Amino acid sequence: MQSYLGLLKQNGLKITPKRMAVIDLFLKNNRRMGPHEVYQKLSKDINPLGLPTVYRILEELKNIGVLIQIPSDDRQLYYMLCKTPDEHHHHFVCRGCKRVEEVEYCNFGAVSKFIEKNLNGKVEQHFLQIEGLCSKCR
């Protein structure tokens, strides 16, 4: 929990009971959840809590790297908790079982160099979504 709260602070987001409750819920449920499920689970204990607030908090937490957005075929939004939010890394999402694995490796440097050399630009950040089949599903 501590590293997640640290990330909130670093990004200028206040540590509020609602944000903490969302992170806590994801810590306790090691699977993907959408805004409606998060809302249903938290609205029993937190009053008042609106669905738009849940949407906003999920988006905020995604933007600072606490949550990962999981693509899905039903066009619904799903999120999961990132286990190592402090280090730059990527995620491998299984299209079969929707499992997310932390990919603690990045070789984007070559792409950055290419952009600097050929486009004379400077890369400040990048996002990479890797999909496929995990070891159990392939």
Vertex 123, ends 121 and 65: CA angle to 5°? 160
For Zn ion, the closer CB: 42 or 70: 70
Q: Could you tell me if 97 and 85 are in contact, meaning their C-beta atoms sit under 8 angstroms apart?
A: no
Q: Taking contact as CB under 5 A, which single stretch among the options 22-30, 55-63, 109-117, 128-136 is the one that binds Zn ion?
A: 128-136
Q: Return the C-alpha torsion angle 16, 17, 23, 28, nearest 10.
A: 170
For residues 78 and 70, give the distance between their C-alpha atoms in angstroms, rounded to a whole number: 5
Question: Which strands, in side-by-side order, build the sheet including 90-94?
Answer: 100-103, 90-94, 129-132
Q: Return the C-alpha torsion angle 11, 13, 18, 24, nearest 10.
A: 20
Q: Taking contact as CB under 5 A, which single stretch among the options 1-9, 20-28, 40-48, 74-82 is the one that binds Zn ion?
A: 74-82
106 counts as binding Zn ion under rule CB under 5 A: yes
Taking the complex as a whole, how short is the minimal distance between the CB of residue 137 and Zn ion, in angstroms? 3
Taking the complex as a whole, how short is the minimal distance between the CB of residue 95 and Zn ion, in angstroms? 8
Taking the complex as a whole, how short is the minimal distance between the CB of residue 2 and Zn ion, in angstroms? 16
Near Zn ion in 5-64, by CB under 5 A = none
97 counts as binding Zn ion under rule CB under 5 A: yes
Binding site for Zn ion (CB under 5 A): 82, 94, 96-97, 99, 102, 106, 108, 134, 137
